[in-house]
Structure 1
Amino acid sequence: MPLEKPAHIARELASHGYTADREAITLLARAGDTAGSLALAVEATPDGALKLTKEDVREALETRPEGRRDPISEAEPPSADTETPPREESATTAAGGDRGGKPDEGDGQDPLVSTGTGGDRTEDGNGGSPLETEGSSGITAGSETGSEAPNGIGQTAETAGAGTGVTDEEATRTADPSLRSLEVENDMTGYSTGTGEYGDFVSTFRDRYERLAGTLRGRVNHRNATALEASPGGGDAGMVGMISDIRSTASGHWLVELEDTTGTFPCLVMKDKEIAGLVEELLYDEVIGVEGTLSDDGGILFVDDLYFPDVPRTYEPSTADRHVQAALISDIHVGSQEFVADAWSEFASWLHTPEAADIEYLLIAGDMVEGVGVYPDQDEELDVVDIFEQYRTFSEHLKEVPGDIEIVMIPGNHDAVRLAEPQPGFDEELRGIMTAHDARIASNPALVTVEGVSVLMYHGVSLDEVIAELPEEKANYDEPHRAMYQLLKKRHVAPQFGDHTRLAPEAKDYLVIGEVPDVFHTGHVHKLGWGKYRNVLSVNSGCWQAQTAFQKSVNIDPDVGYAPILDLDTLEMTVRKFT
């Protein structure tokens, strides 16, 4: 394997216990005798230091002695009077594809680029039109346009350009690591209190109700279930409650039973009401508010308006105060026979180039490895059958990423943590294996604030449930961001209990979206899609695993090898393809 690729240099250094700044890797890649230069730089690194800096490399190359042997490879370097021109990698061109991420057939035409254009949609029960872009639906790679997409969200670009033949000025990072800011909130790792007892579930749902009801009581003239039952009937009334039942009547109307801390009360949505279509969006256990008129006998509430906790219409996201970028990826699935290692190496190599110099953060939303026993006959599709070896292999691949990039990881349903959500971060044994970059490991979900921009990271298992329950135009696999909009509207990442998504009872419901995020980042469904809902950028980042036999059997056509790159100072996004 040639060392000239930055990712290969990083991996070689990592195998001997070293990391390196991006500029140091670039200088080594430009050297004529890369292996010899790497060896000299390692030898010149101060005792006790574990990271090579650009100064270490420059000093080693400027004082290159004759006849030194390579302490890593034992290779004999060329004589000092031999001039070797710098190597340059050839430009890598991204393959085009269709909505499902299939390769372009090479018809000579520029592949279609889906840029997330579209207008506003009326999608709520509050009598208005939330700002919601149409988003993307499994984009294909195209040539970089150098301009923002029509809706100001994203654009697509081809894979990394012309290798590592750059000047020292180009290779120098302008960002000061001391300017970085990264905080993790809502991390329940180490704070799990649930035992599975009935009382734990009561605590979880009570916490959910109280927190979400607080966002609705300012809009609804709330009376609790007991007060409504005691009412003589007639007149206006409102209630905030958790949905305990939804059923249609013989006449085609909808009966929704709402529950609060005092009891339950029936609410009737007439089929000819404008809000009747919103009933299709409702899920069990979510918290909503209703207003209407009590029947004459006070036994039922006829609903005129229905409210979700939702994102405020006036919400304005925060941005970084300097130009800095974050790469958003998920579902790497190391250990699977279908893990696209070449695409990963291309991505990691590109991160070492000047073009990617502004990327200082890498946020990974779950499924680092393929896991064991996740679905029927999975063992037949494994390249690495031992779960711990899968994580060791993942850690080796992670070492290809530049050592100065801050990494945040949360687990997914294929990872070796409990399946029930919220999922705590990896245990100490797995953390001891995944030591590359000293990554920040948090629970699923977690709220990560990067340079002042809050990113809600959630793996996304509940997206399966939302897509299964809601009409296709409101939630589907080709447009995963639409299902994400529903979770934002409900202000909960997994509202429905007891079906597809396993939920663990805790004293606090960590799945509530308490603070509105600036960015919502998920994975799980292996589809690429993004858009904005009321100024919240929602991104599902695809995967790094080609279609498995199991996925083919359930008609999953994954979007493979994409890396959404987010400008934290503008919240504009570029999507790059590496397959």
Structure 2
Amino acid sequence: MSLEEPARIARELASHGYAADREAITLLAGAEDVAGALALAVEATPDDTLKLTAEDVREALGNRPRARRDPISGSDSSARPADPPASADGSREQDPSVSGGTESERVRDGSASSPVETEGSQADRAGVDTGGSTAARTAAQTADRTVERSLEIGNDMTGYSTGTGEYDDFVATFRDRYDRLAGKLKGRVNHRNATALQASPGGGDAGIVGMVSDIRSTASGHWLIELEDTTGVFPCLVMKDKAIAGLVEELLFDEVIAVDGTLSDDGGILFVDDLYFPDVPRTYEPSTADRHVKAALISDVHVGSQEFMADAWNRFTSWLHTEEAERIEYLLIAGDMVEGVGVYPDQDEELDIVDIFDQYRQFSEYLKEVPGDLEIVMIPGNHDAVRLAEPQPGFDDELRSIMTAHDARIVSNPAMVTIEGVSVLMYHGVSLDEVIAELPEEKANYDEPHKAMYQLLKKRHVAPQFGGHTRLAPEEKDYLVMDEVPDIFHTGHVHKLGWGKYRNVVAVNSGCWQAQTDFQKSVNIDPDAGFAPVVDLDTLDMTVHKFS
């Protein structure tokens, strides 16, 4: 049996209006007469059934015993060894280090199709994941089916947008940002507000928590930072010979920081000795699942583009029906489901589907190839048919009526998704362009997109700079603040694969499913396409699978 067979069966069932769980697909694929078994199953299933289960298939086929065939090799189960061979799909498992972005990884099969590791790894060590005996896996699957899945959505602003674009809306957004992030910083410094500092006679220790309103260098090469709080603006000077001077290069306008130092004799300026970001606590310990369950993290599918990689997608969805992927119960898609229309100059010349609604209809058809027992969560991106300004609400009712496959949850960008007790911050990632453009290359670059994500974690905000490349919408609250530290930070947008850990938070940019377009060639984007990172939620170890 070919690897594409499960996805073909899933598509055939979808054409009749049914989703199907993986065991049902496996039973149908293992039948001697697949077409006949499929017809019997469809005919015997009630019209009001939404998902075909293994029990439905057994009843339809009269409970006839049949040997289960290996979804990869096609051999009978009776001839299979107890321990399956290592994966042949180019996967590799990664155990990133705790500190600042270096990673170590385990290559399952050492194949040439394994993804190129991001820089900073410490070691490669070969290994084979045997996965245990078939009987043990079957027992584990049966036990897991008795466990109720856990999925919660936080920070979803869909339907709650209040912004009108008026001045007061902007004031409300920035005041909310300041209040929430300042609350994480005021305990670290001898905080006095700008008005109190201005009234000070001068001299002595002092500190302030403020939003960066200006950064400029002096004639002598020192850095002058103006910090604004709810009472005013106060100048802070970082001397070029200070150890913290390098941190100034990481600053973006409108982010909230704290500084500590000494007031000048006349009280007109604060000489900075220490600078603090809201940051992830050094002692942060992430949550993990109580059972062995996994989530696949993908983004930037771009259906409708001439460069959409349909073959790679089919290999991915077919693989999801195999035993190797049986522990994957969640699929999280971080935006750009479709290519969109009018996103960049002359885009119409690179479209395979020119109507935006037809693009979503086709994406929904591709989504039907995914096993019906997966929980799917999606957020929009800058190519999707929602407002460009962030936060972006989830799709409107018209698009939701098209996107009915698997009853996927479509929430806003960003959103905090908690699965099995593990919090995943999903953000499409448009602000990564701004971070990479503004910061030194060693701090943020396209080849290592996770390093730019570390900066956002440090700032505890997914898009701090207003008025730049990233369009931001004013709301009553700033939905882009990271109130809680996520266990996993998942982005897309830049079409580059990169992952690592920052203070125990897993950061992963999941690449794309679109080959290089002419526009991407013109702006020097060489995409990492056809990859599917998979996170083991009970260990937070990650495996990257390649399907291109």
Q: TM-score, normalised by structure 1?
A: 0.85
Aligned residue in 2 for 1:313: 282
Query: Contact conserved, 1:407 with 1:439, CA < 8 A, in 2?
Result: yes
What root-mean-square deviation, in Å, do the aligned CA atoms of Structure 1 and Structure 2 show? 3.2
Mapped pair 1:52 → 2:45 = no
- Which amino acid in 2 is paired with 1:362? L
Displacement after TM superposition at 1:133 (Å) = 2.9
Mapped pair 1:197 → 2:129 = no
Query: Contact conserved, 1:29 with 1:87, CA < 8 A, in 2?
Result: no
Aligned residue in 1 for 2:473: 504
Displacement after TM superposition at 1:46 (Å) = 3.7
SS of residue in 1 equivalent to 2:183: helix
Aligned residue in 1 for 2:100: 132
Mapped pair 1:477 → 2:435 = no
Displacement after TM superposition at 1:57 (Å) = 1.1
- Which amino acid in 2 is paired with 1:492? H
Aligned residue in 1 for 2:338: 369
Q: Distance in 2 between matches of 1:177 and 1:191?
A: 36
Aligned residue in 2 for 1:15: 15
Q: Deviations over 1:184-228 (max 9, x none)?
A: 000000000000000000000000000000000110111000000
Aligned with 2:430 (options 439, 456, 461): 461
Aligned residue in 2 for 1:550: 519
SS of residue in 2 equivalent to 1:212: helix
Query: Contact conserved, 1:285 with 1:497, CA < 8 A, in 2?
Result: yes
Displacement after TM superposition at 1:33 (Å) = 1.1
Alignment of structure 1 residues 91-106 onto 2, 5 Å = 93-94=88-89
SS of residue in 2 equivalent to 1:238: strand
Q: Distance in 2 between matches of 1:479 and 1:56?
A: 47
Mapped pair 1:5 → 2:5 = yes
SS of residue in 2 equivalent to 1:228: helix
SS of residue in 2 equivalent to 1:532: strand
Displacement after TM superposition at 1:257 (Å) = 0.1
Alignment of structure 1 residues 489-568 onto 2, 5 Å = 489-568=458-537
Mapped pair 1:360 → 2:321 = no
Displacement after TM superposition at 1:61 (Å) = 2.1
**Counterparts in 2 of 1:141 and 1:278: CA distance versus 1, 3 Å:** farther
Alignment of structure 1 residues 18-417 onto 2, 5 Å = 18-46=18-46, 48-62=48-62, 89-90=72-73, 93-94=88-89, 131-135=99-103, 142-143=110-111, 169=138, 174-176=143-145, 178-417=147-386
Displacement after TM superposition at 1:166 (Å) = 12
Q: Deviations over 1:463-519 (max 9, x none)?
A: 000000000000000000000000000000000000110000000000000000000
Q: Distance in 2 between matches of 1:492 and 1:9?
A: 43
Q: Deviations over 1:505-563 (max 9, x none)?
A: 00000000000000000000000000110110000000000000011111111001111
Q: Distance in 1 between matches of 2:156 and 2:415?
A: 5
- Which amino acid in 2 is paired with 1:542? G
**Counterparts in 2 of 1:116 and 1:470: CA distance versus 1, 3 Å:** farther
**Counterparts in 2 of 1:451 and 1:167: CA distance versus 1, 3 Å:** closer
Displacement after TM superposition at 1:12 (Å) = 0.7
- Which amino acid in 2 is paired with 1:559? D
- Which amino acid in 2 is paired with 1:30? G
Identity of paired residues, percent?
Answer: 77
Q: Deviations over 1:148-198 (max 9, x none)?
A: x9989999999xx9xxx9999599654226520000000000000000000
Q: Deviations over 1:387-441 (max 9, x none)?
A: 0000000000000000000000000000000000000001111010010000011
Query: Contact conserved, 1:410 with 1:442, CA < 8 A, in 2?
Result: yes
- Which amino acid in 2 is paired with 1:451? E
Query: Contact conserved, 2:3 with 2:319, CA < 8 A, in 1?
Result: no
**Counterparts in 2 of 1:10 and 1:438: CA distance versus 1, 3 Å:** same
- Which amino acid in 2 is paired with 1:350? W
Query: Contact conserved, 1:116 with 1:530, CA < 8 A, in 2?
Result: no
Mapped pair 1:437 → 2:394 = no
**Counterparts in 2 of 1:432 and 1:142: CA distance versus 1, 3 Å:** farther
SS of residue in 1 equivalent to 2:184: helix
Q: TM-score, normalised by structure 2?
A: 0.90
Displacement after TM superposition at 1:95 (Å) = 6.6
- Which amino acid in 2 is paired with 1:510? Y
Aligned residues: 528
Extract unaligned runs of 5+ from structure 1.
Answer: 65-82, 97-112, 121-130
Extract unaligned runs of 5+ from structure 2.
Answer: 75-86
Query: Contact conserved, 2:71 with 2:322, CA < 8 A, in 1?
Result: no
**Counterparts in 2 of 1:209 and 1:38: CA distance versus 1, 3 Å:** same
Displacement after TM superposition at 1:43 (Å) = 1.8
Displacement after TM superposition at 1:142 (Å) = 3.8
Displacement after TM superposition at 1:58 (Å) = 1.5
Q: Deviations over 1:352-371 (max 9, x none)?
A: 11111110000000000000
Aligned with 1:419 (options 388, 391, 396): 388
Q: Distance in 2 between matches of 1:155 and 1:370?
A: 38
- Which amino acid in 1 is paired with 2:332? L
**Counterparts in 2 of 1:88 and 1:291: CA distance versus 1, 3 Å:** closer
